[in-house]
Structure 1
């Protein structure tokens, strides 16, 4: 397929080929939406939307504006879910860890009709935080300090428990959708915002020879704001992005599951079963990642067989019907279910790697002492291991949450009562 635009020198922005009819809306710094929201900076982007920091010139507050592609239906799913949650009168503590919808509007742009969700401003996702730590911004431990991690895991379980109590599944529980909350920035001037988040960095968007995108494209693209100083973070988290949410009684087909394979429950690879129990598995994977700083399962090539094999390494042989129907097992075991070796004297692909050992290795490969550009440390000190008592409680929790049979797993309500979460 021919390109509409010349490639950029940065890879931290949205797919620029998405600037076309039915795609992203072209946004420029200083633009005003709905007669009141002035764009100051970009917060991030995804496959379906761009998100911007805006100043409400009427209410004198800052908000995040999520502007969805014109052709996307995920926004209607997210909007319906957030509106339903907003209408619920509840003092459930989990409600406070789900992003609120402050306003909603639609507007017509050169690429079509766009939905715009106005929400509270939050800090970085834990995924971005951990990735930035691992790529030069701060070296050392790649994980939150133990006390902050415990708060984050408890609050995330509370948020998912609230959703499940309302017969709603989030549908996309990943580290990317767990954000650190910010202290209020509403008293910052616009100049202070740019001073603390960095002046927006832009790069001109140039049409490829022979193409004429016209008004479909912005004059330039904007890189996301810099990581705020950790002193502006609270120790609370926020669950966001409900574009894959679904009612418990109306789950998606397995082929329509939007969650990355490394967070998917095993039954979703073999059966038409997506349920709160599947989400409990995903939640357990995220909780491990928060505490460890690394994912429980990793897919280098993005395939399900890598993930299934890692599950087998950790837990042992799949349930009978799943094992016999898993075509990919021939890449890892022989006809007698013995681990294959890639070549002589190399560890077998299917070697055991139990949870106990994984937990014991947390903190064992830290690099140089972490520096996060702040006098406030939110990261675990270098080489800090999980204490033995917590390691045992963590293992017991994960073994209960990651049972093969969905009906045997800890429910999210049971997770809340487990000592590793309850404290």
Structure 2
């Protein structure tokens, strides 16, 4: 084992041959990102700002880790979001949250996870902005698999929210979008992973009930983090924690609430970003083709989410690859119809798939290889995909939902309805989220 101190790791993305650690196979953040500019090393029991004692990991993302912490001064619990140190100063997330508190403090807490405080923490990897939020439950993306009707899991089971829940989630998240847009803010990363369920009252619960165990055998934490050279590393934690969302304490019965979270991709309408963070399958066509960012990218994402929550399947399933844009544009053409000329002219590789008359002749990504025949696959419209998924709707309501999705997912951004306009659609008017008394009961 080496005894000399290891060199400071570079404050940039790794290149081949620069890995410091033995691989960790548990579902955690990448251990190599514990470096200057990266994550702050946290272990259970750490105290931040002389006030917040970390007792459980709630999640992680590309730019932060999120922890459940006990508030030692005010009792109760908070969610502590620790940003990577390369994001310093007043972040866009912080600016938008402060703006919401300033212009609509009461209404904002109804729709957006509530910011309770902020501070900076100095660690081996730099100065980290730390945001203190109200604790929330799992995301809409993950909670569906925790519902009791899907346990035990059986072959052929359709894992999707009961219609009552799906409609309530959609309306509540749409109300949150309408609130943001009315205040000149776009969320920028509207997706199921950023819609969180509210908790039952956890403040009265004993810490022992909420604390994450430091147990390698139970796979709640990783084995010890080890450098390849055997030296001690001061930039990484002793172990990584597996995220344990507060599923047992989450309210999903009648009257449940959800809120929008993670304003890290948010922007003011007057100051759109040059590079948005929208997930691949939820990108509006103008984002793919021209990189144009407008006020309706959230609306497009919401239209995709209507399809996904009602059917249990994503409308556009686009794996990350070198050909992801072509893949997405071919899917758009199949599901929603031909792109308008104004968009199509920006598709620089369209000749790999379409004749000069814009007739589809090949679906093989990257074009037809020499000596090979063009590949053609069945072109399934959005409506056909919707019906094949067999959602729990009668024919009349299914027709309403498909028409709603078509209305939202218009190629021309200027023709897309605002969130407030979508809320006035009769299908949404039927849903009373205050009492969660939509006309369809849970299945």
Matched, 1:356 2:389: no
CA contact (8 A) 2:142 2:193 kept: yes
- Structure 1 contact 262–299 (Cα < 8 Å) conserved: yes
Tell me the TM-score normalized by structure 1. 0.86
CA 1:419 to 1:52, structure 2 compared with 1: closer, same or farther past 3 Å? same
Matched residue, 1:98? 112
2:163 and 2:392 in contact (8 A); partners too: no
Q: Distance in 2 between matches of 1:218 and 1:241?
A: 24
What is the match of residue 214 of structure 1?
Answer: 233
Q: Report how far residue 287 of structure 1 moved.
A: 2.6
Provide the C-alpha distance between the structure 2 equivalents of 1:194 and 1:106, rounded to a whole number of angstroms.
Answer: 24
1:206: Cα distance to partner? 3.2
Say which of 53, 56, 68 aligns to 1:53: 68
Give the alignment's Cα RMSD to 1 decimal: 2.8
Q: Flag structure 2 segments of 5+ consecutive residues without an equivalent.
A: 1-15, 431-443
The aligned residue for residue 77 of structure 1 is: 92
Q: Which residue of structure 1 lines up, in the alignment, with residue 51 of structure 2? A: 36
SS in 2 for 1:312: helix
Give 4+ residue runs of structure 1 displaced > 6 Å after superposition: 343-347
Q: CA deviation at 1:57?
A: 1.6
Q: How far apart, CA to CA, are the structure 1 residues paired with 2:212 and 2:131?
A: 26
For 1:404 and 1:160, the matched residues in 2 are separated by 20
User: 1:200: Cα distance to partner?
Assistant: 7.5
Matched, 1:320 2:341: yes
How many residues get paired?
397
Superposition pairs of residues 24-423 of structure 1, within 5 angstroms: 24-73=39-88, 76-89=91-104, 92=107, 96-130=110-144, 138-139=153-154, 140-194=157-211, 201-210=220-229, 212=231, 214-225=233-244, 228-229=247-248, 232-233=251-252, 235-253=256-274, 256-302=275-321, 303-341=324-362, 348-349=376-377, 351-363=378-390, 385-423=392-430
Cα distance in 1 for residues equivalent to 2:72 and 2:119: 16
Quick check: 108-117 or 295-304, which moved more? 295-304
Q: TM-score, normalised by structure 2?
A: 0.82
Ranges in structure 1 where 5+ consecutive residues have no aligned partner:
364-383
Task: Verify the 8 A CA contact 1:95 1:162 in the aligned structure 2.
Answer: no
Aligned to 1:326, the other structure's residue is in SS state coil
